[in-house]
Structure formats: structure tokens, C-alpha cells
Structure 1
Amino acid sequence: MSEITVLPVPVFSTLCNAAFALRREVFVWEQKVPEEEEHDSYDMTATHYVAVADGEVVGTLRVIALEEHIKIGRVAVRQAFRGRGVARRLMDQAMADARAKGEDRFFLTAQSDKLGLYEKLGFVAFGPEFTDGGMPHRAMRTYDKDSATLQD
């Protein structure tokens, strides 16, 4: 496999624009998420991460610093690079960077068929399943695990 480099990038930089294009490819074209739901106001203030292989952006995610926790979202990996640990590398780097700033409470909403990846990273699912972008999702967090219960 090509060497993967993970790094934070400024919004609207060339690499961030490539990340936005990858998100469109994965979420809008592949998963049929309505385009108007794919981008939101958080894109302007989030910290964006990219995974680069052979000069190409092959994965991305964004980190939003909220008062109650760090929210990770918009995790996307180019189809040809799935199953190679790209999402895990992105998550590991983003969480390590946040921890270096004293943050240790992480939250995300995961597509229900992707829960296993996030469980391996220390997240637990809680609350009811809900639909986002036309797909079933679960809220997940790394804190208050004892009180995290699923509702169906």
C-alpha cells in the first residue's frame, strides 16, 4: 500500500478543497446524500484533516470544537482505499491532536453499518437510531460510557 500521510489543512486550501470534492464523491454521488445537506456552516470553523497517498487526497474528516465535546464528522475514504486503515489513521490523528490540547471527550454520529470501526476507537453507541442523509445512524461518544444505552 502507498504510504499514507495524515495532516490538518486550512479551510479552502488546495488540500481542503480536494477533501470537499472527496466528500461530494462519497456522500453525494455514491451514497446519494442530498448536496444541500452535505455542507453546513461548521465547514467554515472546523479543523479539516486529509489522508494523502501518492499526492492524492484519499480520506478526510472534520473536527468541531464544541463546549461539551469534540465532534468528529464527515469521515470519508475514497472507495479504492477502503479497508486499508485510512479512516482509523485519520481518527487516531485527529483525536491525538485534540488530546494534546487537553480535550478527551469525543462525539460523533456514525452510519449504523460502521459502528464497529468506532467501537474499536473507544466509542460507544447510545440513544435511538435516526436517519441522516437518508441513512440510519447512531450517536456515539467516548465519555460517560456507563450511561450510554441504546433505544430501539
Structure 2
Amino acid sequence: MTQPTILVAPPFSTLCNAAFALRREVFVWEQKVPEEEEHDADDMTATHFVAVLEGEVVGTLRMIDKPEHLKIGRVAVRSLFRGRGIARLMMLAAMEHGRAQGQNRFYLTAQTDKIGMYEKLGFVAFGEEFQDGGMPHLAMRTYDLAALPC
């Protein structure tokens, strides 16, 4: 099976616009997240990643540089391409990018049905479950790079 190419997509680039379109497809149309909640000011300063396969952007995520950690979010994979490990590959690429910049603390909020994938990447859930975009989420973090798969 062909693996996707994971790229950084600068804001306002064609790739980033394709990432935003994919996020709308997954979050707004499929998961019914209110459109006004899907985009925010962090989109302009985040580092955006895309997974390109068969000439299309099939996955995306963003990473926001906060003083206390790098926050990963808006992880989305087009429905026809799910189950191929694309989200995992994007997560690993984003975390490697962060480590190359000297950051080893990662944070995210995960839809509760996706917790297992993030645990396999070394994340640990903490705190109480909460609603975001109408779906249950848990906060997760990792500080132990030795626990991350290569």
C-alpha cells in the first residue's frame, strides 16, 4: 500500500486551503461541528501539516506553539482513506517537527472514540471528559519521548 507524503502547508498556500476544505468536509459536514467553531485565530499562526496521497490532500492537522507545550489539533482524514494509518503518520511527522525545534511536550484534546490511537503514540488522558463541537473529548499529553514509537 502506498504511503502518503506528509508536508508542512504554509497558511494561505494551495495546500493549506485544501487542508481547510478537508477540515470543513470532516468536521462541519460529516461530524456537524458548527462552522463558526471550526476555524479560529490559531489557524493563522499554526503549523499545518497535510498528507498527500494519489494527488490529493487526504489528511491534515495543525500544531500550535504555546509556551507550555505544542498543541496538536484539527486532526482529520478523508473518510475514504481512514484505517490506513494516515493520522498516525501525520502525528509522528508533527511531533518530529516539534522535537527538531527543541519541544518535547505535546498536548491535544481527543474525541473519546479516538483515545486508543493517541495512547499508542505515548499520550495519556487526564482530567474530566468535556464537550467540544458537540462531541465528548478528553485532554491528553505526553512528556516522555522515550515512550514514543519510532
| TM-score bracket relative to the smaller structure | over 0.9
Distance 1:55 1:19 in 2: 13
* Cα deviation digits, residues 25-78 of structure 1 (max 9, x gap): 000000000000000000000000000001100000000000000000000000
Aligned residue for 1:149?
A: none
* 1:91 and 2:91 correspond: yes
Aligned residue for 2:7?
A: 7
Distance 2:50 2:100 in 1: 19
Amino-acid identity (%): 74
Segments of structure 1 that go 5 or more residues without pairing to the other structure are 145-152
Please state how far the C-alpha of 1:3 moved relative to its aligned partner: 3.2
SS in structure 2 of the partner of residue 102 of structure 1:
coil
Runs of 4+ in 1 over 3 A off after TM superposition: none
Query: How many residues of Structure 1 are paired with residues of Structure 2 in the alignment?
Result: 144
Aligned residue for 1:123?
A: 123
Contact 1:3–1:54 under 8 Å retained in 2? no
* Cα deviation digits, residues 71-110 of structure 1 (max 9, x gap): 0000000001101000000000000011011100000000
Segments of structure 2 that go 5 or more residues without pairing to the other structure are 145-150
Distance 1:30 1:19 in 2: 15
Please state how far the C-alpha of 1:143 moved relative to its aligned partner: 2.6
Aligned residue for 2:75?
A: 75
Distance 1:42 1:22 in 2: 17
Distance 2:21 2:2 in 1: 21
Contact 1:11–1:44 under 8 Å retained in 2? yes
Distance 2:107 2:3 in 1: 28
* 1:112 and 2:112 correspond: yes
Distance 2:12 2:38 in 1: 16
* 1:134 and 2:113 correspond: no
> What letter corresponds to residue 120 of structure 1 in structure 2?
K
- TM norm structure 1: 0.93
Distance 2:22 2:91 in 1: 17
Please state how far the C-alpha of 1:142 moved relative to its aligned partner: 0.1
Aligned residue for 2:25?
A: 25
Distance 1:108 1:12 in 2: 24
> What letter corresponds to residue 109 of structure 1 in structure 2?
T
